[in-house]
């Protein structure tokens, strides 16, 4: 499985007085890309949450390189850098397609819990979801 990058344009409301996308919006975009990636691996949020699994954010690290401006088209290339059945980590690269420049690199970490934040071991409780994540992590790491 090859993951498709998440693509869209920057909206006017996401910009600041300097006419560039405000830094806080990149974190929102990472969330959009994570949701898209989970759909691509066959674990959409709607399904995992229906089954009682949530994946809260544990940490976010961002490195801003080159601005995205209103109307610029960009893509986010995401891959699973780590997965152990209880936690997973993602690496991201935001490419400004309008300029061809790398705009951001980022890393997020997440865990799997019940809605009341009790840890979930996917391999034991949800082996089908575990297998999808394990296969996606293996695929992600083989593409590096």
Catalytic residue annotation? 16
Total H helices, total E strands in the chain: 4, 5
For residue 114, what are the contacts with CB-CB under 8 A and spacing of at least 6? Answer: 52, 53, 54, 120
Closest CA to 103 of 92, 93, 90, 115: 93
Distance CA 48, CA 35 (A): 11
Give the DSSP H or E segment for 73. Answer: strand 73-83
Helix (H, G, I), strand (E, B) or coil at 35: helix
CB-based contact 90:34 (threshold 8 Å): yes
């Amino acid at each position: 499985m090859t993951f498709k990058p998440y693509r869209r344009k920057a909206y006017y409301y996401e910009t600041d007085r300097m006419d560039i996308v405000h830094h806080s919006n990149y974190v929102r975009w990472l969330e959009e890309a994570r949701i898209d990636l989970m759909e691509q691996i066959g674990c959409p949020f709607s399904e995992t949450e229906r089954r009682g699994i949530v994946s809260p954010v544990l940490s976010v690290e961002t490195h801003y390189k080159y601005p995205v401006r209103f109307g610029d088209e960009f893509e986010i290339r995401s891959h699973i850098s780590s997965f152990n059945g209880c936690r997973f980590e993602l690496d991201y690269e935001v490419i400004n397609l309008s300029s061809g420049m790398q705009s951001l690199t980022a890393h997020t970490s997440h865990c799997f819990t019940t809605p009341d934040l009790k840890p979930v071991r996917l391999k034991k409780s949800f082996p089908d979801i575990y297998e999808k994540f394990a296969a996606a992590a293996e695929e992600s790491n083989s593409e590096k």
